[in-house]
Structure formats: structure tokens, C-alpha cells
Structure 1
Amino acid sequence: MRRIVLDLEFHGKGFYGWQRQGPDRSVQGTVEAAVADLVRHVVSVQSSGRTDRGVHALAMPAHVDVDTRLSPAELMPALNHRLPHDVAVRRVRDVDPCFHARFDARMKLYRYTLLRHRARSPMLGDRAHLVPRKLNLEAMQAAAAILTGEHDFASFQTNPDRDPIPEEDLPETTADTVGPAAIASGATEPPPWRKPRPKGTVRRVNAITLDGDGDLLHINVEGDGFLRGMVRALAGTLVDVGLGKQSVDWAAGLIDARDRREAGANLPPHALTLVCVEYPPEPFDGCESTDGLSLL
């Protein structure tokens, strides 16, 4: 038994989010079915986070314990052969058996994409949110600078009554920390590289940047972890400032308000993409991967 990491790319339109939930189609359930079909045993695939329905990913890491001698270079095409068109494995890495895709994440980068045009786009409609009015980018950048840093982001957390425990605060169970691969290696304690997870609604946003690409405007949000709906709420807040509906000073007051009703609305999920997740190097040291297999 060994632990591997799959970097997953998926188009979120056809999924009810990452998490397996009953009969609804989920990314987790789809990937688990493909892995189980290949290795011929039941598996549990654990990702770096739980994306909502409609959210996309360019590289979402997920770990899984498998009993197979197939190398990463053999696993990748075999899994992609078993996966549907809207999800793919872009990289496979062997990893230390104590690694955890969620608990060991150090940084996540999300991108929210706006389409600045008076007409909708059939080609971009499921990947960008239409804003048919001019945006004040200078004001948006000023508000973004205010919201960058370590703050209490309670004003940007969606449905705290329904989901009162932020994802990063979910308990670290023995099953999570010591899975089959870790047990087989003799591990009984969390690895030395694992840092304490953020608690409550305080998070550190390292950067919020805007970059344009023709009619498209990308809002990039990088941080150590995010509350439920936080990135879409931040994007909605910046758009309100950009449209002149609210001032930069209003954005500054949202941190102290700690009231979800005060911030901008959550923008639709279809324009949000998880770009990448970063980890410490230790769990990957000396491990085999599919890096270097690009045809370019």
C-alpha cells in the first residue's frame, strides 16, 4: 500500500461540487470510481479542499492510498482512460505516506473571471461572469489592498449557520492522519512538516491582484486557506466597488463589521477556478512523479 497524489483538472459545470453526496454527481465520487476500477479495491480520495457546485480546477491535488505496482507514468494514462471528459489527471506523484492534501496545504490560489462586455459570450459563458458595465479598476485595486493581509473574514463567510465549522477547522481524525499507507509505514503521529491549521474566521490573504486579458478581467486571490464562499464574496465586494455601488471606505469597514449582510454578494460559482495549491517540499523528496513528461 502506498500514497499517491493526483493533480486533477475539471470543468465544474457537470458536478455538484467536490464532495461525494448521495446520488449527485461529484468530482470525488467520479475519481474514486476510476481509481477503484484500476486498482481493484475500495479507495478514499481526499482533496485539498471542497469546491462548490460549478467551480472549476486547473490543478487540485488529492491523495489516495493504492495497492499497485504501477508507476506514476503508468497510472496517469490508465486513470484518464477511465475518467469522463470533464475531469482529468494532469500529474501523478508518489508521496510520503503521512502526507495529507488538505492538512499540509500552505497556499491556495483562486481566480475569479469577469467578462467586461455588453453582450454575453456562448464560448465563455460557463467560465466567466458577465459584467456589462465599465469597472473602475483603480478603486478595485485600492479595495483589494485593504482586504489583503491577516484579518477576521467573518463578513465573507457564506451560510455560517449551515456550515459553522470552516473547512480548515474540521477535526484531524486518526483516519485522516494515519491512513492505510501511513499505518503500513509504521507512522503513528502527524509528520514534522505539518503546521497548525487556521482557527475560527481569521485567515491570511497574501495577495489580491487584478489582471486583464482583452474583455476578461481576472481577480486572483492567494491565501493560506479560505472560508466557505469567501473568494466569491471578495470578488462580489470588489465588483460593487468597481461599479461605484460602494466606496473603498465601505470595503475597509467590512473587516470590523463581521456581518455577512454587509459585504458584497457571492458572485456565481461558474467563473471561479482553483488554479494551484502549494505544499512544503519534504513529503515529495525523492519520490517518483510524472514531471517531465510534457511533449513540449
Structure 2
Amino acid sequence: MTKEQAGQRARRRSFTGQRLVKNFPTIASPMLAQVTQLQKQLQGMYAFNSSLRTLIESVNRSYALQWEHIFESIRDFQSRIFPPNWEGVSRPGVNEFESLLIDEGIALMWVPGPKVVQDLLDASTAAERRRIISRRWKGIVADCGTVLSDVSHPRLQDSKKFGIDCVRAIQEGHAAPAQALAGNLLDSVLRSNFDDATRIKLTRNTFKRNGVRFSLDDYKIRAAFTFAPVWCAHAKYKTEDGDPIPRTFGRHPTTHAVSRAQYSRINAVMGLMLVTSVIKFFDTEMEWPVKRVK
């Protein structure tokens, strides 16, 4: 190999090496820059999240009492709408109540107990709900007795006593007398605690004639849920018009159509549930008489 050839070979090696060294950074440097930038961004995000987490924890500590008061207010609001027998019950929307309250006349306020209320709400048909009441009648009647025993308003003591008489009559196997007493007690309680205009509005059920239903929107929620079944129980019924005797509980057929069709243990229980609910409504809503200071 001549000196000239050796020099050319050396120059080629040097050129190739320089080219490789120079080309490597041109490929890697943008990637390194991006990784570095990403690392900085992640570090910044971590620092921000840490600061935010610290701030939230600080706010939670500072406002823990206020949060507690807010949630307590929500619970208090719910308790003012739904009585204790709704404790733990999955509460459906107002529209879902309509069938039970307005069409079937099932009292759900204050009685029965939470488990029965939930079962009634979960049932898919009116017939299934009647079967539940029929099977669980002993517990339901006991629930009514408990609620009536707790009635304390002085103006309701006679109604309380007659309501407890209904409870005992059913428990002792006298369903027919209990149903008759429950139907008439309901009428007496309404007449004693409402003026005529209000009572007539709540009990004028001419749905079969004109299709006008009880409107839940016309009343405060607790009153609406209590008196919608009362309206249902006052469905228009006249023997002279040839109306068939209904098999579900009704105030008018209980009074004017004593029969095996109308009188039954399940109807006695439903009548008791209804009058118990109404009595307890007045017990919670009526003002107490002011004691005179001597």
C-alpha cells in the first residue's frame, strides 16, 4: 500500500466516524428534549396536585362542621316529608306513588313498618300488593297499634281510643266490626278536624263520572301522601244507581253495602291503616292549646 493510499484510507475512517458522531445527536436530541419537557410537566402537575390536595384537606377540615350541618338539614327535610316508617326505604319519585295512593288507596304514611312499605313499593301489581297486606296483616295491625298508642294531642284522645279498639277487634278475629268502626271513625276524624269545604274537596271522588283525579300537586307532600288514599276510599258508590259492590275498601260501601264482597279482613286492615295514618297526621300537624297562666 502506498503512502497516498494509506492517507486516503485514514481520511475515509475519520470522515465516517465524524459522520456517525454528528448524525447520532440529530436523531436523539429532539427525543431527549421531549422527555425532559415531559418530566418537567409531570413534576409541575405533581406539585400542583399536591398543593390542590393540601388545599382540599384544609377546606374539609375548616368546613367539616358546616358540611355536617348541611347534611343534617337534608336529613331533617326528608324526615319532615317522610315519617319514621320510611326509614331505610328506597324512595321512588312522586309519579311512582300515584298508583298506590290514588288508584289503590294504600296508606303508607306512619304505617305500615319499613319492610312492608318496601315490599309494597317493590310489588308490580295491585293484586300482589293486596296479597302482601293479606299475608302480613298481623304485623301491620301491630304497627297501627304502636302508632296510635303514641298519639298525644288532647283533641285526638277519643279517636285514638276507637282506633285501638279497631286494632284489638282485628287481632281477636272480629274483622267485620273493625272495618265498620274504621270507616265511620275516618269520617268522624275528618269532620272534627276539617271545615266542610276542605273535607268535601278531599273526599269528593267522582273519578268514575268525570275522570278527575286527586292532584298531589295541590297539597304539601306529607298532606298529599296522607289524603290521597282518603280520596280513593271515597270513590262514588250508590246502590240506587246499580253500582256493583266493590271488593276493595271503600268508605261508602262499608256504610251502605254491608256484604261479603265489601267486608273482609284485608279491607278491615286497609281501613285501619288509613284511619291510623290520618289520626297521626293530625297529631303531628295540629297546634296544641295554649295553657293560660294564672
TM-score interval, normalised by the smaller of the two chains = under 0.3
User: Which has more strand, going by share of residues?
Assistant: 1
TM, length-normalised to structure 1: 0.27
Higher-helix-fraction structure: 2
Question: Normalising by the residue count of structure 2, what TM-score does the alignment of the two structures yield?
Answer: 0.27
Q: Which of 1 and 2 has higher RCO (CA within 8 Å, sep 6+)?
A: 1
Higher radius of gyration, 1 or 2: 2
